[in-house]
Chain A
Amino acid sequence: MAAQTGTQRTWTFAEAHAPDPALLGGKGAGLARMVALGLPVPAGFILGTPCGRDLSEDGTLPDALIAEVDERLAALVQDAGRRFGDDEAPLLISVRSGAPVSMPGMMDTILNVGLTEAGAAALARETGDEAFAASSLERLLHGFATTVRGVSAGLVEETLLDLPRGSDAAARGQALLKLIEAESVRGFPDPRGQLLESIGAVFRSWDSPRAKAYRKHKSIDEAMGTAVVVQRMVFGNRGDDSGSGVCFTRDPATGAAGAYGDVLFYAQGEDVVAGERDTLPISDLRERAPQVMGALESVGATLEADARDLCDIEFTIEQGELWILQTRVGQRSGRAAVRLAVAFAREGVITEAEAVARVADEQLEAALAPVFANEPPEDAILARGLPCSPGAVVGTATLTCDAAQRRAQDGDAVVLIRPTTSPADLPGVLAAAAVVTARGGRASHAAVVARGLDKPVVCGTGDLDVADGETVSVDGDRGLVARGALELSEAAEDPTIKTFLQWRDAHRS
């Protein structure tokens, strides 16, 4: 291998044994770390931060670097059993920026690199899903035109707006292809050309005006530079034995032990995040693919032991095989923060002092809010929905925003129950103590708004059999709506929280 330590400019994830974010960028270092832990990560390699300094004025890579990239590509082919640039069985890759710190203005990701019209046709044959193949190509062309070739988003949109109404992804792809050809003599390159240009574009985005302004504002060293991560793509929509999801190693709302998250079968990762499709609880994965669930749990255990904290995991299952895309220390509710800190300390993973340091004041304050003592009896449960914003409220079921305002004025706690919410419902949401919507998920407007207002919200309950004026309880942590007033318990009486408060007193001096 040409890459030698010292002069080495690229690393596979496996080679980077001591992940250094300054060299590999935050993202690259994270991937290398996961591989080091033995997690199933789609193969790929990293172009280190120094590479960006060797770029020519027009963003062309130096020949030596190109030679190295070619070698890395050849190795990728062997790993994947598909070939980059093979129109019969195309291997698609993603190209992402990976600066040591996050900043606006950096090119984020270009997906589906390596796809061509012929490749898309093969993909359609292979998956039997023409729409998927066409939209994969459209996505590449869109990203390539705007972020690689710098065609303005405005011009791209104008082109797409000129298409007849109801045009499909294939028609949009054709229009984008024509646009790329019209905007440059180079046209739309072959897979290798796509990759090299994409890498150059990521490096160039380090110098985008927005990124520069940010670095100046934050006094970040201009010489730091960005790394580039090149990685084989996996697809969660290659059949019923494929899927995507997000999994927490423990419940981020309550801190309870056990994997927690959402999964969607026959879906790409963005479908899960977009909230446009109703996700399934992660427990469904256990029923459907126990081995995959087992593998995922073992990944979780490894990650927790490494991070000594709650982790969230973005994963994709491609034809029965689990792939880990990204992991982070997981965000959590205040109550979960306290419970997790105590749990990790009791498990001997962290010290009591660390446990105390991990819980911010506002998290503790939130943890001290009353909670429902127990899960309600099954016959009281009106609906189980998505826990979109935590908290516990007992209030009057209210079906219109008018009534919500009136009741709130009279001092009632209002549970606003709507099929969906529109902006016109905002006065009702503002007046309500909790919000329930029949449709929509975590990314629905209702969820975004209620979270912004720190109110419990449960989404996607389906139509509720509840009368206006009835007393109901909303458990935003569990995603439950129940008939009647559930018993609230003072959080301070909770043994875990009591313990934490004692530690806090002891370690705060």
Chain B
Amino acid sequence: MQHTEYTQVGTGISVYEDDGTVEGPIVFLDTPKAVIAFVGSGDVQDTIVLARGGTTTFLTPALTAGVKGVVTLQGHPESHLGILSREYGIPCVMGVTFASGVRSDRGEVIPADGVRVRLDITTKDGVVLAEPGAPVDDTPPPEPTDAEAEAEAEAMAEQIQALLNAFQGEIAHGSEGDAQIRAPFTTDVMQLTDENTARDLTLDEANELQRYMAWNIWDVLALRATEGESGLIPRQEYECFGCVQQWQRYPGFYRLILERVGARGLIDIGATARREPANKVNLLHVWCSGFTPLFGRAILGELGIASTDERAEDTRLLLQFMRRLYKGLWDEGDMFTSMRGYRAPMLDQQWIDRFTADQSTLEDPERRRLFNAFNAGTEMLGFLLHFDNRSGLNDTGPYDLGDGRFMIVRDHFLHDPMYHWHDVAEELPHCLTQAMVFNPGDAPLDLALMDGGTLFTKPGNYLKHLESAAVYVRESWDTPASEIRKLDDAEMQAILDRCAPATDKLYRRIAGMSDRDKISCGAQVYYGEFVAAVARAAGVWEQMVEELDFWELDEVASQAYYPLVRDGLGAQLVGKLFITGTGFPALSDGAFVDVALADLHPLALRGSLAEVAADTEALEKAGLITSTQAGWMLTEAGTARHAALLKAERAALDDEAVSGAYERFLAANAPFKALNARWQSADEDARWALLGELADLVGRVEPALARTSTALPRFAGYAPRLKAALEKAEAGEFDHVTSPRIDSLHTVWMEVHEDYLQTLGRSREEEGSY
């Protein structure tokens, strides 16, 4: 296209491409106050606004008021603002560098307010043109004080660019990168199986998964790292602070959840994402259940507050907790959408069938306008209610409908009673679900559904391919999925009408908050969001809030607040960790004590032992055993670990076979105990006769022990010990019948009984057997 009169003044990236151009006066908005004043001015819909950063919410009122175009100095189309401007259908060019213009008060070159500009978004390379005679400030830019430093900064910028193009300078974005990063992996940790979600992860597995996570988050977000600052909400500050708080407290909550529902129960909670839309147990939240708390660990490492090797068992727990949710979410196989060709069509077919049947066409321009406004308006408010992060949005799909048509199912989450500022949205539902059917026809449309639960397309404006839609509502987070219902146009309009004042009210409220308030609320979202839905499903959320002081700040998180926020390290660290792929540092060799049940079980059975067969030093260092006068004993942590290992064993155990054998053991147990009591009050002569009965009883339990040992090899050790004790007794060493100080018949027998009880998870009280 020719621009005969206008001159090109800047270039950036078009958020989406369109044939038309837009033109209008430009105005630079650099504070929330300026935004509020602007939307009150009246000329909004003819104006093109210029903002510094690429975050969403800062420009919210301008977007909802319907500006003509948006230009930013920083940021990238994958950022929130990019997403939103696309949804609103507002032409937007991001990351623009202006060649000429006037200077902002920070020295940036920008067009002067009121200058008419034209946005050309016919290609991905967006162009900004200015009318003839636009003011130009020719004063030279501030002299570089130090040429060397400038060169250094330039080199740094180059390096950053290289790191943005290829992960750690080596690995590509997309499916190609997925293959590259996984090529050297030796474990199958990236595959979700029954086996590897039932047990603890090995160190190699944990480190390979973390390596992948570093690439995956880079793949999703590295571009966003340059989205720049938000004028409204200091997001990176609250994100990193919230991550630290997560790292400090999530492991305890995860253990509580596991204690309540078990590993299988957790997997079942993960499967919610398949069973129902409009639930926050979804792609984004499952992703964050592991990524964000572990990011907090890396931040503490960067701050020098704690080594990333500390609490390695918590890292292990978080990784496996996330994997179990993914196991439910996908059922099996590849863990991330980046491994699945960026496709996430996870909802059960019955939902897709229902959504397909409910579709109504958007041919009528009025209806299309309503839908577009609804989509953008609810999304906007969702972002604002979640303090400018994407947890209010989740996409699944594409669901192939044949003939090149496909469906995307999108949730916009609004009201949630766990956040106090959601009072502005009290009249609005918890979630709105849009089932959207696209028909790109002959136009090529590349889709990528990222692990963060957001759809990206090339070209970016996919909405023009939207053919039909159906919209649903879930009134409250605990509304049963069976009561998710379809909205008609009038209801959509009513919701939209309520969204606008709520958005306006909340924007003004946030604009009036101190930074500390904003960070506190934002961190509440980050911290509450990624555990609450799972905790609610597990039935422990109220306990967490009421008994476990969920909303209280952790001491270490508080300690991290000043360096992260006041000293401004947070924003630097977030970008650095994303870009350099160092957010998930590998754990050192020996970080996990790989404890097997066999290491702790003898101690659990006997209480104390003079010698432990396993690596005593490692077990002691891990705080699982302790030395006492009576010998080595399990600590509280050791007892808990033992219980968890036993539980895992039980999950894989042929309970039927072992229980059957145990019944036969019990049949011999009562006579054995009676015999012991008789033995203790018998004289020597009578004891000789009792030995025969003891021998019979030992012979009687041997087959049960042998059968048990086919399922549980450790039971093979008991018969030889019983026989050894019996032999001694038969040789006249009567101590070997009941003495508690040696491996007597009674000692071994009691241990067998205890082993059965522990293995099968029964109590003596339950059985009436003492």
Task: Point out residues on A near B: beta carbons under 8 Å.
Answer: 101-108, 146, 152-154, 156-158, 160-161, 163-166, 210, 214, 270, 273-276, 331, 401-402, 405, 409, 419-431, 437, 439-449, 451-453, 459
A104-B692, A428-B607 known; A423 vs B633 contact (CB < 8 Å): no
Question: Within the complex, which residue of B680, B695, B701, B707 is in contact with A104, where a contact is CB–CB below 8 Å?
Answer: B695
- 20 A–B contacts from the bound complex (CB under 8 Å): A101-B688, A103-B689, A104-B688, A153-B699, A153-B702, A154-B699, A157-B702, A160-B667, A161-B704, A165-B656, A274-B673, A401-B607, A420-B765, A422-B750, A422-B764, A423-B750, A424-B605, A429-B740, A445-B673, A448-B740
Question: Within the complex, which residue of B659, B701, B751 is in contact with A423, where a contact is CB–CB below 8 Å?
Answer: B751
Question: Within the complex, which residue of A165, A409, A420, A431 is in contact with B764, where a contact is CB–CB below 8 Å?
Answer: A420
Give min CB distance, B609 to chain A, whole Å.
Answer: 10
Complex contact B629–A405 (CB within 8 A): yes
Q: B660 in the interface, Cβ–Cβ < 8 Å?
A: yes
Which chain A residues lie closer than 8 Å to B707 at the CB level? 161
Which chain B residues lie closer than 8 Å to A426 at the CB level? 606-608, 740
Give min CB distance, B56 to chain A, whole Å.
Answer: 56
Give min CB distance, A145 to chain B, whole Å.
Answer: 12
Question: Within the complex, which residue of B656, B677, B685 is in contact with A102, where a contact is CB–CB below 8 Å?
Answer: B685
Complex contact A165–B695 (CB within 8 A): no
Which chain A residues lie closer than 8 Å to B659 at the CB level? 165
Q: Which residue of A lies closest to B729 (CB)?
A: A104
Complex contact A422–B677 (CB within 8 A): no
A104-B692, A106-B692 known; A422 vs B754 contact (CB < 8 Å): yes
Q: How many A-B residue pairs have CB under 8 A?
A: 165
With the chains together, A35 CA to B663 CA distance in Å? 41
Complex contact A427–B765 (CB within 8 A): no
Which chain B residues lie closer than 8 Å to A421 at the CB level? 770
With the chains together, A189 CA to B770 CA distance in Å? 39
Complex contact A214–B688 (CB within 8 A): yes
List the 8 shortest-distance A-B pairs measured between CB atoms, nearest first. A440-B770, A102-B689, A157-B703, A424-B607, A104-B691, A427-B630, A443-B677, A153-B699
Q: Which residue of B lies closest to A211 (CB)?
A: B692
Give min CB distance, A102 to chain B, whole Å.
Answer: 4
With the chains together, A136 CA to B145 CA distance in Å? 105
Which chain A residues lie closer than 8 Å to B757 at the CB level? 422
Complex contact B765–A405 (CB within 8 A): no
Complex contact B605–A420 (CB within 8 A): no
Give min CB distance, B723 to chain A, whole Å.
Answer: 13
Complex contact B628–A427 (CB within 8 A): yes
Complex contact A443–B607 (CB within 8 A): no
Which chain B residues lie closer than 8 Å to A270 at the CB level? 671, 674
Contacting residues of chain B (621-668) with chain A, CB-CB under 8 angstroms: 628-631, 633, 656, 659-661, 663-664, 667
Q: Which residue of B lies closest to A109 (CB)?
A: B693
Q: B696 in the interface, Cβ–Cβ < 8 Å?
A: yes
Give min CB distance, B608 to chain A, whole Å.
Answer: 4
Which chain A residues lie closer than 8 Å to B670 at the CB level? 274, 276
Which chain A residues lie closer than 8 Å to B660 at the CB level? 161, 163-165
Complex contact B674–A273 (CB within 8 A): yes
Complex contact B630–A448 (CB within 8 A): no
Complex contact A154–B703 (CB within 8 A): yes
Judged by DSSP, the binding face of B is helix
Q: Which residue of B lies closest to A105 (CB)?
A: B692
Give min CB distance, B607 to chain A, whole Å.
Answer: 4
Complex contact B688–A157 (CB within 8 A): no
Complex contact B730–A439 (CB within 8 A): no
Task: Point out residues on B near A: beta carbons under 8 Å.
Answer: 604-608, 628-631, 633, 656, 659-661, 663-664, 667, 670-671, 673-674, 676-678, 680-683, 685-689, 691-693, 695-696, 699-704, 707, 730, 738-741, 746-747, 750-751, 753-754, 757, 764-765, 768-770
Complex contact A104–B685 (CB within 8 A): no
Complex contact B663–A166 (CB within 8 A): yes
Q: Which residue of A lies closest to B748 (CB)?
A: A423
Complex contact A420–B664 (CB within 8 A): no
With the chains together, A434 CA to B491 CA distance in Å? 76
Give min CB distance, A265 to chain B, whole Å.
Answer: 18
Give min CB distance, A227 to chain B, whole Å.
Answer: 14
Using A104-B730, A331-B681 as known contacts, list a sample of 8 further A-B pairs with CB atoms less than 8 Å apart, ordered by residue number in A: A104-B691, A153-B699, A210-B730, A273-B674, A423-B754, A426-B740, A445-B673, A448-B673
Complex contact B685–A425 (CB within 8 A): no
Question: Within the complex, which residue of B671, B699, B764 is in contact with A274, where a contact is CB–CB below 8 Å?
Answer: B671
Which chain B residues lie closer than 8 Å to A158 at the CB level? 703
Complex contact A106–B768 (CB within 8 A): no
Q: Which residue of A lies closest to B768 (CB)?
A: A276
Which chain A residues lie closer than 8 Å to B700 at the CB level? 153, 156-157
Complex contact B746–A448 (CB within 8 A): yes
Question: Within the complex, which residue of A425, A439, A451 is in contact with B765, where a contact is CB–CB below 8 Å?
Answer: A439
Complex contact B628–A405 (CB within 8 A): yes
Which chain A residues lie closer than 8 Å to B604 at the CB level? 424
Complex contact B695–A437 (CB within 8 A): no
Complex contact B738–A273 (CB within 8 A): no
Which chain B residues lie closer than 8 Å to A105 at the CB level? 692, 695
With the chains together, A427 CA to B740 CA distance in Å? 10
Complex contact A210–B692 (CB within 8 A): yes
Which chain A residues lie closer than 8 Å to B696 at the CB level? 146, 153
Give min CB distance, A310 to chain B, whole Å.
Answer: 13
Complex contact A444–B740 (CB within 8 A): no
Which chain B residues lie closer than 8 Å to A459 at the CB level? 770
With the chains together, A160 CA to B668 CA distance in Å? 12
Complex contact B628–A423 (CB within 8 A): no
Complex contact B738–A452 (CB within 8 A): yes
Q: Which residue of B lies closest to A408 (CB)?
A: B629
Give min CB distance, B477 to chain A, whole Å.
Answer: 42
